[in-house]
Amino acid sequence: MNVTNSPGVCPVTGKSAELLTKISLVDPDISAHPNAYYDAMREADPVHYDEKLHMYLVSRFEDIQTIQRDPITYSVKHGYEAQYSAGFFEEFKDILERDGGGYFPDAIMSDPPYHTRIRGLMDKAFTAHRVRELEPLITDIVVDVIGGLPASGPVDIVKAFSVPITIRVICAQLGVAQYNADKIQRWSAAVTAQIGRMQDRDKMIENAREICELQHFLIEHVKDRQEHPREDMISDLVHARIDGADEPTLTFKEVVSLVRALMIAGNDTTATAMTNLFYLLGTRPELAGLLGRSAGDDRAMSRFVEELLRVEPPVRGLSRMTTKEVELGGKILPAGAHLLLMYASANDQPEVFPCPRDFDMERSNLGRHVSFGGGPHKCIGLSLARMEIRVAAREVAKRLANIKLEVSAEEIPYLKSVATHTIEHLPVSYTKL
């Protein structure tokens, strides 16, 4: 089933390399409506140096695959460090060390062989088995959240639907029973802003304070699970063990950083995917029929979700840094080149996904999208995310009709970030069934 449309406006109208030098991914209009910019880059300059961002934007599917296959030449660790709190890193780190219980570098944002050890221990805590058991719990949460919505709206679907669902699910997984959802949302925004490249110094200080609070919250939980293990993911990380390995368990610092990663990485991203569902239903009303017909069929729902993730990927680009001189996409890059892998652009490449702006859940290569990355860093939470989105979409189809946006596509506010493409607020009206 195939739905053609292309909502949203992009200010890019040509495809020349010269035009690309005049604009940047950080320009608010481009950042909000980037698809024509991606097209122009793929065609005119697929490994394009963005002068404002000081990064190479890698926009073609095949170049992104090359990078994913070689995590040593294209380092996550160096790319992430250069990205992290860019411009203010020392001050940011001082604040965390002084007021946040310590500075806990992101253990998972690392390179092999260290990453292989961390990922192995994390995988032990994050098994598909545990995710499969979650469907009834997720369904209860989604049904409860929809039940709490007013009769017809308008509501901000981000605040009333997407964020509460994802926060409740991840807290249940981690074993965090007492929490303030508003705080968790603020903490998530503060952590993700560190790779967004669009925060000024005042915002960095405000975000650092939020992260201090988050870390104290997590440290308390980790210490508790050291003494009193339970059936939850924090306990699984604290007690994860690979017998026979040189370093068979995680250190305290590593556990805190991984719990922080799990709490945050899956929050904004999964919530954004749910918001994008409403965005698509609101801007392509033909999709409502398609969703309704798919709702009773798990296979069809899974295909719907994959196409949703391809067409509107929550993560648009994540960074790497070259560790040696290398040729990529016909360009020679020096050692230390900072790259942004434009996953959203790869998903939009017509040679890989014909008529890429069409919503076509019968594509033969549906699962090839790179919305979850690829290679050794492929998203660890993808089974959980897919299930959350599938259950949310299914219950929306069963319980809400006449979904309409209360703003035009041009008025939708997007988070200032080069890493994610996140709708901040989405006023929506609907009829409850």
* Residues near ligand HEM, by CB under 6 A: 76, 108, 119, 170, 261-262, 265-266, 269-270, 273, 314-315, 318, 343, 371-373, 377, 379-381, 384-385
The C-alpha angle 366, 371, 375, rounded to 5 degrees, equals 95
In sequence order, the 6+-apart residues with CB closer than 8 A to the CB of 256 are 102, 104, 215, 218, 219, 222
Closest approach of ligand HEM to the CB of residue 19, in Å = 28
Which candidate, 274, 279, 288, places its Cα nearest to that of 146? 274
* Amino acid code (one letter) for 2: N
- Nearest residue (CB) to ligand HEM, 189 versus 380: 380
In 70-200, which ranges are continuous DSSP H helix? Answer: 76-83, 89-99, 114-125, 128-132, 135-147, 157, 163-174, 181-192
Q: How many CA atoms lie within 13 A of 159 on its CB side?
A: 12
Closest approach of ligand HEM to the CB of residue 380, in Å = 4
- Nearest residue (CB) to ligand HEM, 69 versus 201: 69
- Nearest residue (CB) to ligand HEM, 20 versus 419: 419
CA-to-CA dists, residue 130 to 134, 144, 174, 407, angstroms: 7, 22, 12, 39
Residue nearest to ligand HEM (CB): 381
- Nearest residue (CB) to ligand HEM, 266 versus 356: 266
Closest approach of ligand HEM to the CB of residue 270, in Å = 4
In 151-241, which ranges are continuous DSSP H helix? Answer: 157, 163-174, 181-192, 201-227, 233-238
Tell me the C-alpha distance between 44 and 60, whole Å: 11
Closest approach of ligand HEM to the CB of residue 122, in Å = 7
- Nearest residue (CB) to ligand HEM, 153 versus 188: 188
- Nearest residue (CB) to ligand HEM, 287 versus 419: 419
Closest approach of ligand HEM to the CB of residue 174, in Å = 9
- Nearest residue (CB) to ligand HEM, 20 versus 157: 157
CA-to-CA dists, residue 289 to 144, 238, 305, angstroms: 24, 46, 15
Tell me the C-alpha distance between 421 and 348, whole Å: 14
Closest approach of ligand HEM to the CB of residue 166, in Å = 8
Closest approach of ligand HEM to the CB of residue 375, in Å = 8
